Amino acid sequence: MPGTIIHKQNENMPDSAASISSVVANGVRWVKTLGKIQFGESLVISGPGSQGLCSLAAALHAGAAPVIVLGRDCDTERLKLANEFGAHHIVNVDEEDPVEAVTRILPEGPDAVIETSGTSEGIRAAIEMVRRTGRIVSIGLSGGVETPINFDTLVWKSISLLSGLGQAGNVSDAMKLIDTGKFPLEKINNRTYRLEDLPQAIKDTKERPAGFIKAAIVF
C-alpha cells in the first residue's frame, strides 16, 4: 500500500523473531530514545514480559551494566529467558523487597528504571529505588487504576519521569538488533496457535497459564 515501510527479513532471521520486530522496537525506543541509556549505565527493568524482555535485549546491546530484572513467582519461564538473554541480576519480588534487593546491588540506586508492569507497587518502587537525577521510563498500563505517588520525592531526587507508547519508528534498529543473533528473541513467542484458535490465544494472553510468555498466530 502507498506509504508502507518495508523492512527486509534476512534469511537467517527466525520468523518468530521477525514477527515481534515491533515489540523489539518498543524496547529500543524506551532504552535509546526515551531512557537515553548510555554504555556502562545501570538499569532496572520492572516486569519480564515481552516488552521487558525486548527492553533487556536493547539495553544489553547498548552496553548497559549491570541490568537487573524484577519479576514474580508466576514469571518463572520469563525470568529464565531473561537469564538466558544475559541479565546480570534477577530479583523475585515475591521473595524479597525489590527496593531493598536493588539497593543491596546498587547502593546509590540505578541510573534508570524501565517500569513495564503498570502496577502501583512497581511504579512507587521505581521512584524509591532510582538514584538521584535518575530517569524512570514508565510504559506499563494499569487498566485505569490510579496510582498515588509522592511528588516531593520526584523533586528532592530530581527524577526525570518519562512515559510513552511504543510503535514510534524504531523498527529499522530493531531488525538490526534481531539480526545480530545475540539474543534468542524467537523464544519470546513460546505459544503458537492457528487462526481458528484466536479466542484461546486471547484467553491465554489474559490469564497466562503456567509457562506462558507470548502468543503467536501461525498461518
User: Can you give the pLDDT at residue 199?
Assistant: 97
Question: Is there a cis peptide before residue 2, judged by omega within 30 degrees of 0?
Answer: no
Percent of the chain with pLDDT over 90: 86
- pLDDT for 164: 83
Give the pLDDT score at 207.
93
Residue 19 C-alpha cell reads as 514477527
Please state, rounded to an integer, the average pLDDT across all residues of the chain. 94
Q: Closest Cα partner for 52 from 1, 117, 147? A: 117
- In the predicted model, is pLDDT for residue 66 greater than 90? yes
Would you kindly state where each structural domain of the chain is located, as residue ranges?
15-188, 189-219
If pLDDT is split at 50, 70 and 90, which confidence band does 168 have? low
Nearest Cα to 123, choosing from 101, 98, 104, 100?
98
pTM of the predicted structure, to 2 decimals: 0.94
**What is the tens place of the pLDDT at every residue in 130-154?**
999 999 999 988 888 888 989 999 9
Q: Using an 8 Å Cβ cutoff, are 154 and 89 in contact?
A: no
Asked whether the predicted pLDDT for residue 20 surpasses 70, the reply is yes
State pLDDT tens for residues 92-109: 999 999 999 999 999 999
Q: Is the pLDDT of residue 115 over 70?
A: yes
Please determine, for residue 167, whether its predicted confidence score (pLDDT) is greater than 80.
no
Whether the per-residue pLDDT at 218 is higher than 80: the answer is yes
What topology is assigned to 15-188 in CATH? Rossmann fold (3.40.50)
